[in-house]
Structure 1
Amino acid sequence: MKYIVEHMEEGFSEWVILEYSQIIRDVGSENLILTSLPKTITEKDIPKQLKDMGLQWTTKEIIDLEFQGAKINREKIALLDPAATVDLIPEDKSTIDYFLLAGVLGEHPRKDRTGILREKYKFQGKRLGNLQMTTDTAIRTAHKIINGTKFEDIQFLDYPEIKYNKYESTEMPFRYIVNDKNEPILPEGMLELIRKDADQSIDDLLIDE
Structure 2
Amino acid sequence: MANANSAHPGDAKIFVVEHLDPELEAWSSLEYSAIASECSATGAKFLLSSVPEQLELPENLQQAKGLNIEHRSIETVFADQKDRVCLLDPAASKELSPEDGDRFHVFLFGGILGDDPPRDRTSELRKKGYEGRRLGPVQMTTDTAVRVTRMIVQDRVPLEAIPYIDHPELKINKHESTEMPFRYVKGKDGQPIMPEGMVDLIKKDSERGFGDLL
Fold shared, TM-score > 0.5 on shorter chain: yes
Q: Please, which runs of 5 or more residues in structure 2 have no aligned partner?
A: 1-12
Aligned to 1:141: 148
Equivalents in 2 of 1:48, 1:148: separation in Å?
34
Q: Does 1:41 align with 2:49?
A: no
Equivalents in 1 of 2:36, 2:196: separation in Å?
12
Equivalents in 1 of 2:132, 2:159: separation in Å?
16
Cα distance change of structure 1 residues 122 and 168 upon mapping to structure 2, 3 Å threshold = same
Please list, as runs of the form range in 1=range in 2, the aligned pairs for 1:5-44 lying within 5 A after superposition: 5-28=17-40, 31-38=45-52, 40-41=53-54
1:85 pairs, out of 90, 93, 100, with 93
Q: CA deviation at 1:127?
A: 0.6
Q: CA deviation at 1:106?
A: 2.1
Map Cα deviations across residues 71-123 of structure 1 (whole Å, 9 max, x no partner).
Answer: 6511110000010001110111111100010111522221211111101x110
Runs of 4 or more above 6 Å deviation = none
Q: CA deviation at 1:164?
A: 2.0
| SS of alignment partner, residue 78 of structure 1 | strand
8 Å CA contact 1:163, 1:170 repeated in 2: yes
Please list, as runs of the form range in 1=range in 2, the aligned pairs for 1:107-118 lying within 5 A after superposition: 107-118=115-126
Equivalents in 2 of 1:94, 1:203: separation in Å?
39
Which piece of structure 1 moves more, 71-80 or 12-21? 71-80
The one-letter code of the counterpart of 2:48 is L
The one-letter code of the counterpart of 1:26 is E
Q: CA deviation at 1:182?
A: 2.2
Cα distance change of structure 1 residues 140 and 73 upon mapping to structure 2, 3 Å threshold = same
Q: CA RMSD in A?
A: 1.6
Map Cα deviations across residues 39-84 of structure 1 (whole Å, 9 max, x no partner).
Answer: x426xx1222111114211221112216xxxx65111100000100
2:161 pairs, out of 141, 153, 156, with 153
